[in-house]
Amino acid sequence: MHNYTKTVIKVILPCLLFFALSCPLLAQEKDSVTTTVIKFKRPTGPQVSGVVIGASSKKPLPGISVTVTGYAAAITDEKGNFKIGVPNYNAVLVISGQGYQVKEEALKGRKTISKIVLYEERYVSVYDAAILPFGTALKNRTPYAVGTVNLNGSWERANETADSYLQGKIAGLEAIRKSGTPDIGAALYLRGYNSLYAANQPLIVVDGVIYDVNTYGSSIISGHQNNRLANIDLKDIDNITLIKDGASIYGTKGANGVLMITTGRAKDVATRLDFSAYGGYNATAGQLPVMQADNYRIFLSDLLKTKPGITDALIKAEPYMNDQPNPAFYNYHQNTNWQDRVMSSGISQNYYLKVTGGDDIATYALSLGYLSNDGLTDSTNLTRYQTRFNANLNLSAKLKSQVNLAFTRSEQNLRDQGLAYSTNPLYLALVKAPFLSPFELSETGVQSPNLADTDIFGTSNPSAAIKNVQALNRSYRFSGSIGFNYEFNKAFKANTVVGITYDKVRENYFTPMLGIAPVLLPTAVGYNKAAAGVQRLFTVNTDTWLSYSKDLNEVGKLSANLGFRLQHSSAEVDNGTSFNTASDDFVTLGGTQSTLRVVGGSLGKWNWLNNYFNVNYEAYNKYFLSFNIAADASSRFGKDIPDVLNFNGVKMALMPSLAGSWLISSESFMANNNFVESLKLRASYGLTGNDDIGNYTAKSYYVSQNFLGRQGLVRGNIGNTALKWERNAKLNIGVDASFLKERLNLSVDIYQNKVSDMLIYEPLLTSTGFSYALSNGGAMSNKGLEIALNGRLINQTGLKWDMGLTYSLNRNKISQLGGNNQLITEYSGATIITQIGAAANLFYGYKSNGVYASDAEAAASGLSNKTADGAFIPFQGGDMKFADLNGDKVIDERDRQVIGNPNPDFVGAYSNKLSYKRWSLDALFTFSYGNDIYNSTRAILESMSGYNNQSLAAVNRWRVDGQLTDVPRASWGDPSRNARFSDRWVEDGSYLKLRTISLSYNVPIKANFIRSATVYAIANNVFTVSNYLGYDPEFSAGNSVFARGVDTGLEPSFRSMFLGVRIGL
C-alpha cells in the first residue's frame, strides 16, 4: 500500500499538470472589480448622469471610474460629474477609484443621481470585497453569510498572528487567544462548537490552496501548542474572508466554516517598496498574592500538626522552624519574591520589507520579514524569519499563471507551562517556599552564584527552571503553489492550482539534575531529562475546475463551476525521552542512559477527494440564487457506511446547499428612499461535513503488546467500519443593510446549525473488554444571533470617527449521545459533563456553602466524606460544607451537579477609529460575558494540604473551633477533600479588554523619492476589566472542546508598547 499511494501521487500529479496545461485555464483576477475588462459600447441607448463626492470631504471626486459591467464605462471629470450609457434604467453602476471603496449604485429607474458618496478604502462597508472560492464578489451581491476583513497590511497592529488578529473582527467567529506566549495564536470557534471530538477550527485556504493548521502530535514542551498560522506574516495578508455558511463546496471539510486568506500581490506594474519597523517593550504581568515568609511559616506549622505521626517536637526540629543560629539558618530565613524571579520584561522588534512591481507580462510581490519577541517567562523568546514571493504571469492572451512561494523559519525558546509541576517556572514561583533563596548560601549568609538545589520539600528551584532548563522549538514551513487559468472563450475557462506544503517542527528539551526535582521511573530515578521531538507534515493539494459565465439575456446571468479537489497528506510524529546524562552539561538525547529511553510517535496518511458543482444565477441585479453541491470521498471514511452514495465501492458524502438573496434596496419602490442605502435579505440552507474523524478509526486494527521482550498483537478497537463524517446542516437568515449614505451599516444573522452523526466515544459493556467504541451517535445544535454594526459618527473634513461593534450569541444544546444520557470527561482536575438537553461541556462538581464553624456543627450535619479510596470520614470543624444532593448523608460523586458553564453568553468587540488631519487613533476593545472558568492554579494555592506556598486567602483559614470564615482549615493531604473540584474554584470569566490602541501620524513628505511615511505608537493589552482572580481570563489550553474554560496556568498575556515607522518608496 505504501508503494501504491506513491504511485497514485506519481500518476495523478503529472495528470493534473497535463490537464492544467492542455486544457488551459482561467484565472479569476483578484481585484476583479477594479480590473474588470471594460467593453466600450457606443452609448446609443439610455444615458444616466450623476456626480461622485467624497464622504468626509464632501467635495466632488475627479477621475473616478463609473462602469456598467460588461456594457459601458466612464470617468468623472474634475467636478465629479459623469455621464454613462446604460442598457436600461434598472442597471447597476459600479463606482471605483484609487484609494476609495468600491460601491454599487442601482438606478432603480432614476436618470440622474444627485450624489454618489464614496468612502475611503479602509471604511467597513456593505460593498467590501469578499474572496469566495471562485472569485471576488462584492458583499452586497453574495447570498451567503460572509465576513470580510481587508487588512491593507494592518500596520497598526503589532505581534499578532492571523488568528489572534481576527478576534472581534467578524461577528460569529470567536477567537480565544491561547496564552501570552508569542505567536501562540488563538483558538477559533465559528458559531460555537461544531464538534465534540473532531476539529473545530475553520478550514483555512490561502491563495486557493488548503492550508493545514491542525496539530499532529503534541509538543514535548508542556503547555505549548504549535501555531501553523503564525507562519503567515500579517502584513502579507490582503484580505480574510470567512464563509460562515454555504461552505458545502468544501464538502466534508466545511463544517467549521472556511477562512479564505489572500496574500498581497502587485496591484500595478510600478515598482513600490514598503518598509516598516517597530520596536517595543513587553511588560510583566501582575503578580498573584501569595504568602510571604512569615505567614507561610505559621501556615506550615499549622499544617504539619495535622500530619499523622508528627509531634510538636518534630515540627520544632525542622530546620525551617529553627530560629536559633545554626549552619542552615540563612538557608531558611530569606524572603524571596519568586514571581519576580521568573517573569521578566522584554523587548520586541520587527522589520519588514516588501517590493512589488513588474511589467505587462509579469508582476511580482516579494516580502521579507524578521521578528524577535521576548516572552513573559524569563529567558523565553521568539525569532522568526519569513519570506514570500507572489507572481502573476500573463503567459499568453488566454493563459495566465500565478505562483506563490513562502518559507518561514521560527525559533522559540520556551519553558514548561501548565501541568508540569516540577518544571513550570510560573507554577513553581507560586508554590515555592518564600523563606528559601534561589542561590546557595553559606553558613554566614553569603550568597553563592550557584543555584540552590531542589529543596527539603522536594520542590524544584524556580530559578533553575528558568536558567538551566532548555526547551527549544524550531519550526519551518514551506508552502508553494502554482496555478493556471486558460480562457477558452468569454464563457468558458479552465483553472487549476497545485500546492505543496512541507511543515516541520523540531523540539529539544532538557531539565537539569541541579534544582529540578527528580522523577521516579519504573526502573530508575531520573535525575535529569532530555527529550527531542519532530513533527512533519507533507501535503499536496490540487484544485481543478471548469468555469462558465454568461449573460443569458437582459435580465439574467448564469455562472457555474465544476471541478474537483484532491488532497494527499502524510503526517509523522517522532519523539524520544530519556534520563540521566553524565552531567548537566550533556543536554542531548544521545548522552542519556540508553536503558531509560522511551520513544514514541505516530504515522498518518490520508487522501481526500472533493468533487463539486456550483451554479449561481442572478436576475435584475437584485435576485441572487446559488446552488452548491459536493461529493467527497476520503480514506478516513468507513467501508461499510449504509445508505450513502457509493461509487465503485467508495463511499461518498453528498453535501448540497442552496442560498438566495434579495436586494430590496434595488427595487424601484426604494428609488427615492434616502434613508436606506442598501438592504438585502439572505437565506441559506445547506449541508457540510467534518472529516476529522481520525485517519484509521473506521478500521479494525491491532496494536502491539509485549510479552516480556517479545511483541505480540492484540485488538486495538472494536472497529466501526460504518464510521463516517459528521454532518452539519446549516440554516441561516440574514439582513445586510446600510443607511444614510453608508453612515450606518448593519448586518444581522440568525442561524441554526444541526450537527448529527457526531463522533462520540460510547461507553461499552464490561463484557466487551473495551471501554469505548467510536460511533456517529451524537447530535447537537447551535442557535445564535450575530450583529455587526459600524458607522461613522463624525464625518468632517478634518475629523472622522468610525465606530464598530460585533456581537455574537450562541446557544449550544446536545440532543443525542448514542446510548447514553451523559458523558463525563476530566481535564486537568476539572470534571466536565456533557448531557442531553444542555450545552456541551459544563463544569460538574460539588456545590459548597461555607465552612463548618465548629466540630459540633459538622457533627450535627451528620455528613461524611467518601474518600478517593472508598472510606467514609465524618466532616469536622473547618471543613467545607458541601451540598448533599441526594440526601444520603454521604458526600460522594452522586452529589455532583452543574456548577458552571464555560460557554459565554455573548462575545464581541467594540472598535473605534478616530482620524484628525494626519493623526489617527485606533482602539479595539474585546469582551466576553457570562463564561465560567475553573481556576486550577487557585485550587492549588488554596488547597492547604501540603508544603506548597499558598495565596493570601489562606491566611483567613479556619483555625479555632467556632471561627466563622469562608476558608477551610489546613489539613495534611486534605482527607476531607475540601479542595475537591467544586464551585469554590469556578469563577466568572467575563471580561472587557482594551486589546490594542494605536496612534499614527502621517508625516508630510517633501522628498520625491519617498511616497509616504507614517510613524505610530501601539499599546497591546492595555487593561482588562474582570473579576477573575487568576492572571488572565483569556486562555485556551488545548484544541479540545473539553479544555475550554480550564485555566491550567499558562503564561498570561502582558502589556506591551511599541513605536514604529512605515516608509513607502
Partner 1 sequence: MLVLSSILSCKKAFDIEPEDALEASQTYRNVYDADAAVLGIYGKFVKLADKYMLLNELRGDLLDVTSNANNYLKQLGTQTVAADNPYADPKPFYEVIINCNDALKNFNIMRDKKLLDNTQYYQRYTDILFLRSWLYLQLGIHYGTVPYVTDALTTIADLQDESKFPKLSFEDLLSRLIAETEATPREFLNQNTSAASPTLILPMDVYIVKDGVFKFFIQRRSFLGDLNLWKGNYLKAAGYYKDVMETGTNSSTGSDQQIDLYDTYRVGDDNSQDHSLKTTAVLNPWTKIFSAPLADRIANWERMWTLPFSSSFSPGNPLLALFSRSGDYLVKPSNLSMRNWDNQIRADGSLTDRRGLDMSYRLVNGIEPEVLKYSQNYSLSTPFDKTGVWVIYRAAVLHLRYAEAANRLDRKVLAGALINSGIKAAFGTKALYNGVADTYPFDFNGDGGTIRGNWYRNSGIRGRAVNQDYPITAANTVVEVEDRIMQEEALETAFEGYRWQDLLRIALRRQSTDPNYLANKIAAKFDAAGDGASASLVRSRLANKENWYLPFKLK
> Residues 165, 153: contact at Cβ < 8 Å?
no
Nearest approach in angstroms of CB 101 to partner 1 is 41
Nearest approach in angstroms of CB 566 to partner 1 is 7
Angle at 228 between CA 227 and CA 231, to 5 degrees: 110
Q: What DSSP assignment string belongs to 838-854? A: S-SSEEEEB-EEEE--S
**All cell numbers assigned to 957:** 483559614
Name which of 517 and 566 has its Cβ closer to partner 1: 566
Nearest approach in angstroms of CB 779 to partner 1 is 17
Closest to 251 in 3D by CA, of 539, 612, 753, 759: 612
Span 437-496, contacts to partner 1 by CB under 8 A: none
Nearest approach in angstroms of CB 902 to partner 1 is 27
Name which of 116 and 633 has its Cβ closer to partner 1: 633
Name which of 552 and 599 has its Cβ closer to partner 1: 599
Instruction: Determine the interface stretch with partner 1 among 510-518, 660-668, 870-878, 1038-1046 (rule: CB under 8 A).
Output: 870-878
Among 125, 241, 350, 634, binds partner 1 (CB under 8 A): 634
Nearest approach in angstroms of CB 596 to partner 1 is 10
DSSP E strands, 252-291: 258-263, 272-282
- Contact between 890 and partner 1 by CB under 8 A: the answer reads no
Among 331, 380, 408, 720, binds partner 1 (CB under 8 A): 720
- Contact between 564 and partner 1 by CB under 8 A: the answer reads yes
Instruction: Determine the interface stretch with partner 1 among 145-153, 719-727, 903-911, 1005-1013 (rule: CB under 8 A).
Output: 719-727
Name which of 44 and 594 has its Cβ closer to partner 1: 594
Half-sphere exposure of 1034 (CA within 13 A, CB side): 31
Nearest approach in angstroms of CB 19 to partner 1 is 6
Nearest approach in angstroms of CB 940 to partner 1 is 24
**What CA–CA distances, in Å, run from 1056 to 183, 581, 1000, 1024?**
14, 39, 17, 13
Q: What's 966-1019 look like in SS3? A: CECCCCCCCCCCCCCCECCCEEECCEEEEEEEEEEEECCCCCCCCCEEEEEEEE
Q: List residues bridging with 154 in a β-sheet.
A: none
Among 309, 325, 449, 709, binds partner 1 (CB under 8 A): 709
Among 872, 916, 919, 1023, binds partner 1 (CB under 8 A): 872
CA 106 to chain centre: 39
Question: Residue 1011 and residue 955: Cα distance in Å, rounded?
Answer: 63
Closest to 130 in 3D by CA, of 119, 144, 114: 144
Among 181, 479, 607, 1036, binds partner 1 (CB under 8 A): 607
Among 718, 733, 890, 1003, binds partner 1 (CB under 8 A): 718
Name which of 6 and 58 has its Cβ closer to partner 1: 6
Instruction: Determine the interface stretch with partner 1 among 4-12, 89-97, 790-798, 895-903 (rule: CB under 8 A).
Output: 4-12
Name which of 129 and 759 has its Cβ closer to partner 1: 759
Name which of 16 and 199 has its Cβ closer to partner 1: 16
Dihedral, CA of residue 501, residue 505, residue 506 and residue 510, to nearest 10: 180
Nearest approach in angstroms of CB 717 to partner 1 is 9
CA 512 to chain centre: 34
Closest to 369 in 3D by CA, of 381, 349, 394, 386: 386
- Contact between 714 and partner 1 by CB under 8 A: the answer reads yes
Question: Residue 380 and residue 376: Cα distance in Å, rounded?
Answer: 7
> Residues 250, 630: contact at Cβ < 8 Å?
yes
Instruction: Determine the interface stretch with partner 1 among 426-434, 520-528, 905-913, 971-979 (rule: CB under 8 A).
Output: 520-528
Span 142-201, contacts to partner 1 by CB under 8 A: none
Nearest approach in angstroms of CB 53 to partner 1 is 52
Among 593, 867, 897, 1039, binds partner 1 (CB under 8 A): 867
CA 1048 to chain centre: 18
Nearest approach in angstroms of CB 52 to partner 1 is 47
Closest to 928 in 3D by CA, of 990, 840, 1003, 974: 990
Instruction: Determine the interface stretch with partner 1 among 138-146, 180-188, 595-603, 732-740 (rule: CB under 8 A).
Output: 595-603
- Contact between 973 and partner 1 by CB under 8 A: the answer reads no
Span 543-562, contacts to partner 1 by CB under 8 A: 544
Question: Residue 68 and residue 92: Cα distance in Å, rounded?
Answer: 6
Name which of 238 and 757 has its Cβ closer to partner 1: 757
890 in helix, strand or coil? Answer: strand
Dihedral, CA of residue 15, residue 21, residue 23 and residue 27, to nearest 10: 120
Among 317, 555, 713, 856, binds partner 1 (CB under 8 A): 713
**What CA–CA distances, in Å, run from 986 to 297, 931, 992, 1013?**
28, 10, 19, 50
Nearest approach in angstroms of CB 711 to partner 1 is 7
- Contact between 707 and partner 1 by CB under 8 A: the answer reads yes
Nearest approach in angstroms of CB 588 to partner 1 is 24
What sign for the dihedral angle of Cα 459, 465, 469, 475?
positive
Span 86-115, contacts to partner 1 by CB under 8 A: none
Question: Residue 74 and residue 93: Cα distance in Å, rounded?
Answer: 10
- Contact between 599 and partner 1 by CB under 8 A: the answer reads no
- Neighbouring residues of 669: CB distance < 8 A, sequence distance ≥ 6: none
- Contact between 695 and partner 1 by CB under 8 A: the answer reads yes
- Which helix (DSSP H) or strand (DSSP E) does residue 797 occupy? none
- Contact between 887 and partner 1 by CB under 8 A: the answer reads no
Name which of 338 and 637 has its Cβ closer to partner 1: 637
Question: Residue 622 and residue 33: Cα distance in Å, rounded?
Answer: 18
- Contact between 871 and partner 1 by CB under 8 A: the answer reads yes
CA 239 to chain centre: 17
Name which of 15 and 270 has its Cβ closer to partner 1: 15
Nearest approach in angstroms of CB 653 to partner 1 is 12
Name which of 562 and 1057 has its Cβ closer to partner 1: 562
Nearest approach in angstroms of CB 698 to partner 1 is 10
The amino acid occupying position 2 is: H
- Contact between 821 and partner 1 by CB under 8 A: the answer reads no
- Neighbouring residues of 776: CB distance < 8 A, sequence distance ≥ 6: 722, 723, 724, 726, 757, 758, 759, 760
Span 637-666, contacts to partner 1 by CB under 8 A: 637, 639, 647-650
Name which of 345 and 867 has its Cβ closer to partner 1: 867
What sign for the dihedral angle of Cα 475, 374, 173, 829?
positive
Question: Residue 545 and residue 565: Cα distance in Å, rounded?
Answer: 9
Span 751-780, contacts to partner 1 by CB under 8 A: 763-771, 773, 775
Closest to 175 in 3D by CA, of 184, 185, 187: 187
Instruction: Determine the interface stretch with partner 1 among 162-170, 551-559, 596-604, 977-985 (rule: CB under 8 A).
Output: 596-604
Question: Residue 110 and residue 288: Cα distance in Å, rounded?
Answer: 67
386 in helix, strand or coil? Answer: strand
Name which of 40 and 702 has its Cβ closer to partner 1: 702
- Contact between 598 and partner 1 by CB under 8 A: the answer reads no
Name which of 387 and 570 has its Cβ closer to partner 1: 570
- Contact between 705 and partner 1 by CB under 8 A: the answer reads yes
Cell numbers 495564536: residue: 185
Span 15-34, contacts to partner 1 by CB under 8 A: 15-16, 19
Name which of 553 and 711 has its Cβ closer to partner 1: 711
Q: How many chain residues are in contact with partner 1, going by CB under 8 A? A: 76
The amino acid occupying position 573 is: V
